[in-house]
Structure 1
């Protein structure tokens, strides 16, 4: 499938001029994670858990860059944590990760390996043009597993219907479920490190191709 264009609004670029976006699309068949994927997840988490604590996590380059970006936009990154940090904190406490489905599980594995907060969406639920900007006061947003989320001053992806994604929590409206056939994944690299971003995209594509895909993933950096 074709990689979509994403327009980044000038108000955000003025605050975060180094921002790069890794964009990946793939046709998928969503299912429960099979035993092989679960074993790979468990192996990764068992390797990571003893090496992590709160200080190590917040100083991971991708996590630190995301939290610094939130501060520049006027959002408290300790109250509204980037999703990768929240996942890593679970892992550090021995709580592991939830098995969601094969697509989301692959996304979460790459997130905890790299520290990038990876946004995942059902392409067919996105309406029209995608824009990345700054959250406005009072914008309605239902975060997955979080209910109503205050997205003011967060980096926010919008389509013609309204906000549908943030690096803190994806939205219910564009969530990946058992009926999803095509996915869009976006990795915001707030420090602009294109080498690490490309490595994360390659790892994500490899996992999706191994455990999920009906066709090969496509990706690029914007």
Structure 2
């Protein structure tokens, strides 16, 4: 699928980059016990590490809060998804298993402190553009609310916006019926190109190990 990164983002955030993975012929289902166990143990570890710490001081959380500020979105009102996960864990409201694709998404988002979105590719229509939301732009989110996209980095296709590092829309979520998927890793701009590729490839390999199928990735925004 054709995927583009808008010039506006690169103008505001010169080192902005995303990892994009395209999956074909995958099988989504209940997470293996290994994944459930690792996700639970990792959350417990994070919970104890967060004692007497400010979440906003964590490197990845802080960097993405600054991105929101740069594009004009208040990070105190619109917390990016990785920060939202960390705040849940700090309250000991641990994430329960949903299905294999979401569980892997959450695990890597926690590990690298970055937002990650995954979408049903068959519900999207090329080209996909990662850009900044326009005035008055909204969508119905997976949080059950109508969300303002103005000044927010988002992913859109021919039918409009469908995802963002804040909350995804309800238009193209991955389910157990999904066979083809698109994953967007909102990398830290400070991540060097080599590490960005390693992180993206590591996620891709773990995902296909569990879901089967074929996959390919690319890094957008590398200099």
**C-alpha distance after superposition, 1:53-95 (max 9, x if no partner):** 5854323332222111110111001111110010011112211
Gap change, CA 1:40 and 1:210, over 3 Å in 2 = farther
Q: Structure 2 matches for 1:88-103, cutoff 5 A?
A: 88-103=86-101
Q: What's the secondary structure of 1:149's corresponding residue?
A: strand
Tell me, yes or no, if the aligned pair for 1:63 and 1:84 is still in contact at 8 Å: yes
Structure 1: gaps (5+ residues): none
Whole-angstrom distance in 2 between the partners of 1:110 and 1:136 = 29
Whole-angstrom distance in 2 between the partners of 1:175 and 1:153 = 23
- May I ask how many residue pairs the two structures share in their alignment? 218
Aligned match for 1:217, one of 212, 215, 218: 215
Whole-angstrom distance in 1 between the partners of 2:155 and 2:103 = 22
Matched with 2:183 is 185
Whole-angstrom distance in 2 between the partners of 1:94 and 1:49 = 7
Aligned match for 2:142, one of 141, 144, 149: 144
Structure 2: gaps (5+ residues): none
TM-score for both structures, normalised by structure 1: 0.90
Q: Structure 2 matches for 1:12-23, cutoff 5 A?
A: 12-23=9-20
Tell me, yes or no, if the aligned pair for 2:115 and 2:186 is still in contact at 8 Å: yes
Aligned match for 1:24, one of 21, 28, 48: 21
Aligned match for 1:52, one of 47, 50, 53: 50
TM-score for both structures, normalised by structure 2: 0.90
Tell me, yes or no, if the aligned pair for 1:53 and 1:89 is still in contact at 8 Å: no
Aligned match for 1:34, one of 16, 28, 32: 32
